Homo-oligomer: A and B are copies of this chain.
């Protein structure tokens, strides 16, 4: 009964990622660049900020003019003028002089520091007392201190967060070349699966996977395309796969959960033009009955029909593939949540286990509480905040063990 001829470890499946090419690129407005992946290096075309700039409200000075200044023995400086915002000062600041300046203002030539207004007191229109000395470049950003001209400021493959969008805008890149957003086709299979708008007769189950998988695709900043439910019929599945492959960059087939369906899913995939089966079974729990094929350089997945298994596989391995074809270069799941396990957890050696956990913040310490309930219950995923990964060579983990959690959010 065992048709898992090509069972791979999770690490082996990860290495297959390299054979799928990154999508093409497109040019978009920087104002809508959030969550996209940069396709080219961004190189600073000028220094940033480009001039010596105050970071505090106060007085631009020669730092040396303030040395030794204190409450008891203030420095006395002559006021040389006021610097208007966005204007170029029309005077050079001499030693022993100070100029009013606001945060963001440009220092006059000669000035190399700013004294905060809180550490000064105007004596009269023409002079000010300084109660605290400043060091050169204190309360100042120098002309090339954020970025210097010709420096690579963001590399190709960078995920654009708010700060990356702002930096690109600040450097004058009003358009950015980014990777295309992948379309992901989703096919649900199984004679027991009915559309969600139908009232299930006994023995039938509504189509859950089309909706959970679409959610994970959206979470990975890609576009889900649902192809509905295909009955257990190889010809119908083949037609649906061909259509989805023609229209999408990746295809997910969920189910069928029956042994027969799993068998013919592989047969159908094998019968597609220019398609090789790469994985037929993963030593992962839940998620063993996972199939991966390469169809003309597009990944096509056969995911378990069981709803929880499908979600775990989607999170731990399909999402990284989706990131890969979008050109994302950052390490997969780099940030995990360290937490303390609240009870013993058993695990079978020889497979990678993923345990659903609830995260609880106990006085600044994160606790990982394994979710109770059979693994097939969708409510275990509703209650879970994250997944605990247990390696192939570990037989189980003890209460109070320090573990790393993959966030499910």
The answer to whether the Cβ of A366 comes within 8 Å of any Cβ in the partner chain is: yes
List which A249-272 residues lie within 8 A (CB) of chain B.
255-261
Which residue, of A169, A216, A226, A339, has the highest number of chain B Cβ atoms within 10 A?
Answer: A169
Q: A257: which of B102, B207, B210, B339 is its contact (CB, 8 Å)?
A: B102
Q: A190: which of B85, B169, B314, B366 is its contact (CB, 8 Å)?
A: B85
A215 CB, nearest partner CB in chain B, Å:
3
A363 CB, nearest partner CB in chain B, Å:
11
The answer to whether the Cβ of A235 comes within 8 Å of any Cβ in the partner chain is: no
List which A201-219 residues lie within 8 A (CB) of chain B.
201-216, 218-219
- In whole angstroms, what is the CA distance A45 to B151 when docked? 60
The answer to whether the Cβ of A51 comes within 8 Å of any Cβ in the partner chain is: yes
CB–CB B305/A103 < 8 A: yes
Which residue, of A165, A207, A409, has the highest number of chain B Cβ atoms within 10 A?
Answer: A165
Contacts of A219 in B (CB 8 A): 34-35, 161-162
Partner-B contacts on A (CB < 8 A): 1, 30-31, 33-35, 48-51, 53, 55, 57, 84-88, 102-106, 117-118, 141, 145-147, 153-154, 160-174, 190-193, 196-197, 199-216, 218-219, 226, 232, 255-261, 305-307, 311, 314, 334-339, 359, 361, 364-366, 374-379, 381-382, 384-385, 402, 404, 407-409
Contacts of A214 in B (CB 8 A): 31, 34, 162, 165
CB–CB A359/B335 < 8 A: yes
CB–CB A102/B259 < 8 A: yes
**Can you name 19 A-B pairs with beta carbons within 8 Å?**
A1-B57, A35-B218, A50-B200, A85-B258, A86-B190, A86-B203, A102-B260, A104-B258, A104-B306, A146-B377, A153-B379, A162-B216, A163-B381, A163-B408, A170-B196, A335-B337, A335-B366, A335-B385, A335-B407
